[in-house]
Structure 1
Amino acid sequence: MKFRSLLIVAVALVAWTNVPAKSASGVPTYIASAVTDSARPPDDKAQDAKRKPDEVLAFAGIKPGDKVVDLMPGSGYYSRIFGKIVGTTGTVYALQPTEMDKAAPKGLQSLKTFAGTPAYPNVTVLVQSAAAIAIPEQVDMVWTSQNYHDLHDPFMGSPDMARFNRSIFDALKPGGIFLVLDHAAAEGSGLSRTDDLHRIDPAAVKAEITAAGFEFVGESKVLRNAEDKHSLSIYDPSIKGKTDKFIYKFRKPLS
């Protein structure tokens, strides 16, 4: 009986030591440290109050050692944070579609200023057509922030979304996560506002991605804004930076 009690204590102690340390806000310390890292540009840090990267990433579940794809990374706001979280045993692929590079070349230019440098040696830039995504290895997470709607726009070549999402599915390890953060369009609007308002109906995203074989895990509402009426472009001065954003988490089944 005494041995059994000692065994229970030992198991409990091991379990406790495997729980990630958390900051005062309840966010894992490796996420909090990456967000407050001194290497991040002031312009990026100035966006943190609205973008809430610590809470968003805690929901996503990214952790040290992960292999992550930052799909359509813009100037690298999240790529830099990912690089610090996954550390020396992890990898970040900042994947910029060639179509988006033609439309917004400054993003790729920004990525190339830090990817592979001593501060971010684990960040690699990939430039590929959205119609033929080919990630070098299976990864733990594919992440896309505020850009999934662009895949439905003419300037991106309107790729076959069933094929596109299946390529993401194939790139993930079993149990891997596909995280989509985007500007919400009005309920029932489907794909009709991706070009003019740069928004997408969350239900349309869920339908497309689950059709590729993903399981819907859940949603974070940390960036939702009930005051956004979904009627204005995300670039309208009255709503820019304050749009209603959904964060959906999908998982590739283990088998």
Structure 2
Amino acid sequence: MKKTKLMLPLALLVSAAMPLSALADGHGKHHVDNKHRSDANQQRDEFRKPYQTLAFFGVKSSDKVIEIMPGGGWYTEILAPMLKEKGELVAAHYPMSTPSEYRKRSRVKFEEKLADNKGVYGNVTMADFDPKAAVDAKAMNADVVLTFRGLHGLQNGNDLAASFSQFNQMLKKGGTLGVVQHQAPEGVDAVATAKKGYLPKSHVVAVAKAAGFDLDAEAYFHNNSLDRIIVDGVERGVWALPPSLNVESDRDKEKFKKVGESNRMTLLFKKR
């Protein structure tokens, strides 16, 4: 692997609380009016650091961006206004042909969210993301592909390698892939830790490299040394931590609140 460039100074220029105008291609234009976002979602900004993350990934308002498995649209709320005027956002969601009722409901709720606020989401393009099928034509020729905290699910479905292959196909030559993922310690079994929501960085990098990507840069602002979920063998995995706090006792909830959110890797890959 080529030597990884350290891009932390760029990333640190943008604080988690800073408005998305900081991403305006060096200009002071505002891309986001947060009035369409719930208070609960905005409170996650402190921990998910979306503006700092997108700045690190180099997302520009003129880019074509593919958001992989957008779930309920937490990041879509930020990306859609940013890309509305000059760029394009493609939400690559679960296909309605999926046998999973949960995934069907997720897709339906996401589309309802978009339909209920066309002023914000009217220019978002829907596409299917199915690693077992061909890449949806609407998700091709992209500048940037983004995936947030979802690789463990792809690993659990034995779809991780196929997914990275699709990410590569979606991108122009030289395009970039931004990954945020709960990070397991090195030396653990990726198949086992994926069931708890985590993957080792070396595993993700190896799968990406095999799919035609080079690791271009890494940031550390999502690291949390207090996260010992994998080391301590916590049964509920990452879902024991905030914001889920999926544990039985109030004592455990207080314990994991003090830990905070998961230790996460933040990786920027470039298509060869």
TM-score by length of structure 2 reads: 0.75
Structure with higher Rg: it is 1
Question: SS at 2:238's partner residue?
Answer: coil
Question: SS at 2:176's partner residue?
Answer: strand
Q: CA deviation at 1:42?
A: 2.4
| Residues 35, 54 of structure 1: 8 Å contact kept | no
Residues 179-222 of structure 1: per-residue CA shift (max 9 Å, x gap): 11110112112413344311111110000001111111111111
| Residues 175, 251 of structure 1: 8 Å contact kept | yes
Q: CA deviation at 1:227?
A: 1.1
Whether 1:80 and 2:72 are equivalent positions in the alignment is: no
| Residues 183, 199 of structure 2: 8 Å contact kept | yes
Identity of aligned residues (%): 25
Whether 1:246 and 2:246 are equivalent positions in the alignment is: no
* Matching residue of 1:3: none
Whether 1:235 and 2:232 are equivalent positions in the alignment is: no
Question: SS at 1:45's partner residue?
Answer: helix
| Among 74, 93, 96, the residue aligned to 1:96 | 93
Partners in 2 of 1:168 and 1:251 — Cα distance? 11
Whether 1:48 and 2:45 are equivalent positions in the alignment is: yes
| Among 58, 65, 68, the residue aligned to 2:65 | 68
Partners in 2 of 1:214 and 1:180 — Cα distance? 12
Alignment gaps of 5+ in structure 2:
1-12, 25-29, 246-255
* Matching residue of 1:122: 123
The list of structure 1 runs, each at least 4 consecutive aligned residues, that deviate by more than 4 angstroms after superposition, is 22-28, 32-36
Number of residue pairs aligned between Structure 1 and Structure 2? 228
Question: SS at 2:164's partner residue?
Answer: helix
Residues 46-93 of structure 1: per-residue CA shift (max 9 Å, x gap): 211111111111101111111111101110111121111123221111
Q: Which deviates more from structure 2 when the two are superposed, residues 232-241 or residues 82-91?
A: 232-241
Question: SS at 1:184's partner residue?
Answer: strand
Question: SS at 1:76's partner residue?
Answer: coil
Alignment of 1:105-144 (within 5 A): 105-115=104-114, 117-132=118-133, 133-136=135-138, 137-144=140-147
TM-score by length of structure 1 reads: 0.79
Return the letter of the residue paired with 1:134. D
Taking a change above 3 Å as real, the CA distance of residues 119 and 164 of structure 1, as seen in their structure-2 partners, is closer
Return the letter of the residue paired with 1:251. K
Q: CA deviation at 1:23?
A: 7.2
Whether 1:148 and 2:148 are equivalent positions in the alignment is: no
Higher RCO (C-alpha under 8 Å, 6+ residues apart): 2
Whether 1:29 and 2:21 are equivalent positions in the alignment is: yes
Taking a change above 3 Å as real, the CA distance of residues 108 and 222 of structure 1, as seen in their structure-2 partners, is same
Return the letter of the residue paired with 2:266. I
Partners in 2 of 1:241 and 1:130 — Cα distance? 32
Return the letter of the residue paired with 2:219. S
Return the letter of the residue paired with 1:102. E
Whether 1:164 and 2:163 are equivalent positions in the alignment is: yes
Instruction: Report the aligned-residue RMSD.
Output: 2.6
Q: Which deviates more from structure 2 when the two are superposed, residues 46-55 or residues 127-136?
A: 127-136
Q: CA deviation at 1:114?
A: 3.5
Alignment gaps of 5+ in structure 1:
1-21
| Residues 115, 124 of structure 1: 8 Å contact kept | no
Taking a change above 3 Å as real, the CA distance of residues 171 and 43 of structure 1, as seen in their structure-2 partners, is same
